[in-house]
């Protein structure tokens, strides 16, 4: 069996921040929590989806809310386990494994922390293949699986069990509770069986994040840029190279909403790039024309180090490279586009795959 060790957390945290498309939270706090848990409790078994039996119970563990809040509102460490145990108690059944709900910064590390604390394996899968801002925006949700029962927990010890008639209501009620808890909470949600995970999960996300992170950190050691290697691994595209000129953010609705303006440098000198986000980067326009859009991934990378920059860490003056990567094929179905396409987020755009936008750009 394969195991996750402390060193793997360095790779996974930075690699998942690339896959998080700007969202999922800064991985630093979650990485420290997971490393401490592995030191205390031992390595975490990493199991493949096909190693599960159809009847086994898997529970995701995650942080919910505005990722920027986690920079100041630190968890006490007990919330993930408390939420997980409360959900097990409600179900009257022990979980067989933990999983990530999304491939995003802090939410790649929180489930590893939970698994280490509980002595459970973690499954090499998630339900997005990236990060999205709302609870129904999972492959499970689009497939019709319920998000609830779920538990929302804060650092004070408050725990809220939620059961709803739809996943939209799960989002509304859990978001309301999270806002009341200070814009950040820990949750356990979308209990699934091994069969459901086999049918609807996005496989291999932890392994992919680890490989991306390894590429970045090894490039650091060699003082090289990892960007091209990442693009080759993910079939991605370099969208823009420039300097951030303006960042606008709003934290009042339980999300980090905002926009960033980038002025071109090098081969993009004289051009501009605008990007809008809701926790995650959603749409990018180069010179007023769409360059990439949700559900494809848009990630901002530091031009010098190749490190991903999450939306709460975007700052004026940063020299950056904006990359785009194709989403998991599940999201390109009609049901997937209806749930996470640009029109869902009120953009007057029909979804166009990133590779077609790139081809159109090459053809002038």
Q: How far apart are CA 132 and CA 107, in angstroms?
A: 11
Buried b (16+ CB within 10 A) or exposed e, 307-333: bbbbbbbbeeebebbbbbbbbbebbee
Could you say which architecture CATH assigns to the domain 2-205?
3-Layer(aba) Sandwich (3.40)
Q: What local confidence, expressed as pLDDT, does residue 25 receive?
A: 74
Q: What is the pLDDT of residue 292?
A: 98
Q: How confident is the model at residue 285 (pLDDT cuts 50, 70, 90)?
A: very high
Q: Which pLDDT band, with edges at 50, 70 and 90, does 30 fall under? A: confident
| Average pLDDT of the residues in 31-60 | 97
Average pLDDT over residues 229-244: 97
Q: What's the pLDDT band for 34 if we cut at 50, 70, 90? A: very high
As a whole number, the mean pLDDT across the chain is 94
Higher-confidence residue of 41 and 311: namely 41
Instruction: State residue 224's pLDDT score.
Output: 93
The pTM of the full predicted model, rounded to 2 decimals, is 0.94
Note the pLDDT of residue 15.
96
CATH superfamily, domain 235-362, is: CV3147-like (2.40.390.10)
Q: Name the burial class of residue 350, with classes exposed (0-12), middle (13-18) and buried (19+) by CB atoms within 10 angstroms of its CB.
A: exposed
Confidence of residue 77 (pLDDT cuts 50, 70, 90): confident
At residue 66, does pLDDT exceed 80? no
pLDDT value at 229 more than 70: yes
- Cα gap 311→26, rounded to integer Å: 9
pLDDT, tens digit, 9 for 90 and up, residues 124-168:
999 999 999 899 999 999 999 999 999 999 999 999 999 999 999
* Contacts for 317 with CB less than 8 Å, ≥ 6 apart: 243, 244
Under DSSP, is residue 311 helix (H, G, I), strand (E, B) or coil?
Answer: helix
pLDDT at residue 86 is higher than 90 = yes
**Residue 70: pLDDT above 80?**
no
Structure tokens that stand for 227 in this block: 């960007």
Note the Cα 61 to chain centre separation in Å.
13
For residue 143, what pLDDT is reported? Answer: 96
3-state secondary structure of 47: strand
Q: Residue 149 has what pLDDT?
A: 98
**Can you name the residues that pair with 284 across neighbouring β-strands?**
275, 292
State pLDDT tens for residues 336-346: 999 999 999 99
Place of tokens 């919330």: 79
Confidence of residue 254 (pLDDT cuts 50, 70, 90): low
Q: How confident is the model at residue 104 (pLDDT cuts 50, 70, 90)?
A: confident
| Percent of the chain scoring above 90 in pLDDT | 86
Pairing verdict, β 57-65 and 97-99: parallel
Domain coordinates in residue numbering, the chain:
2-205, 235-362
d(CA 271, CA 282): 20
Q: How far apart are CA 160 and CA 174, in angstroms?
A: 9
Tokens of 38: 């592995």
- Position 155 scores a pLDDT of 92
Helix segments in the chain, DSSP class H: 6-19, 27-41, 79-91, 105-118, 139-142, 167-180, 194-200, 205-222, 227-234, 334-340, 354-362
Is the predicted pLDDT of residue 18 greater than 80, yes or no? yes
Nearest CA-CA partner of 113 in 203, 29, 50: 29
pLDDT category at 253 given cuts 50, 70, 90 is low
- Give the per-residue pLDDT at 91: 97
Q: Are 353 and 279 in contact (CB under 8 A)?
A: no
Judged against a pLDDT cut of 70, whether residue 225 lies above it is answered with yes
């Amino acid at each position: 069996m394969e195991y996750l060790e402390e060193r793997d957390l360095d790779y996974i945290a930075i690699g998942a921040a690339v896959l998080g498309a700007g969202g999922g939270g800064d991985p630093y706090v979650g990485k420290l929590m997971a490393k401490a848990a592995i030191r205390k409790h031992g390595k975490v078994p990493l199991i493949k989806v096909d190693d599960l039996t159809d009847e086994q119970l898997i529970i995701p563990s995650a942080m919910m809310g505005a990722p920027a809040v986690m920079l100041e509102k630190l968890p006490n460490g007990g919330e993930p386990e408390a939420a997980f145990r409360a959900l097990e108690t409600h179900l009257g059944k022990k979980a067989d494994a933990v999983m990530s709900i999304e491939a995003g910064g802090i939410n790649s590390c929180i489930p590893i922390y939970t698994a280490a604390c509980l002595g459970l394996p973690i499954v090499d899968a998630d339900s997005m293949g990236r990060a999205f801002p709302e609870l129904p925006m999972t492959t499970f949700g689009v497939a019709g699986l319920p998000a609830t029962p779920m538990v929302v927990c804060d650092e004070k010890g408050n725990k809220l069990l939620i059961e709803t008639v739809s996943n939209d209501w799960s989002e509304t009620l859990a978001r309301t509770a999270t806002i009341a808890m200070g814009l950040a909470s820990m949750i356990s949600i979308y209990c699934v069986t091994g069969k459901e995970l086999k049918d609807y999960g996005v496989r291999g996300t932890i392994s992919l994040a680890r490989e991306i992170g390894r590429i970045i950190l090894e490039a650091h050691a060699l003082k090289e840029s990892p960007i091209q290697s990442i693009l080759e691994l993910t079939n991605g595209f370099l969208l823009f190279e420039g300097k951030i000129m303006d960042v606008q953010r709003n934290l009042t609705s339980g999300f980090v909403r905002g926009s960033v303006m980038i002025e071109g440098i090098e081969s993009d000198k004289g051009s501009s790039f605008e990007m809008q986000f809701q926790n995650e980067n959603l749409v990018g326009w180069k010179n007023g024309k769409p360059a990439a859009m949700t559900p494809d991934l848009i990630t901002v990378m530091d031009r010098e180090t190749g490190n991903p920059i999450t939306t709460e860490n975007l700052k004026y003056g940063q020299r950056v490279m904006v990359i785009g990567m194709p989403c998991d094929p599940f999201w390109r179905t009609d049901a997937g586009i209806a749930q996470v396409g640009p029109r869902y987020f009120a953009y007057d755009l029909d979804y166009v795959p990133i590779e077609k936008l790139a081809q159109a750009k090459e053809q002038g």
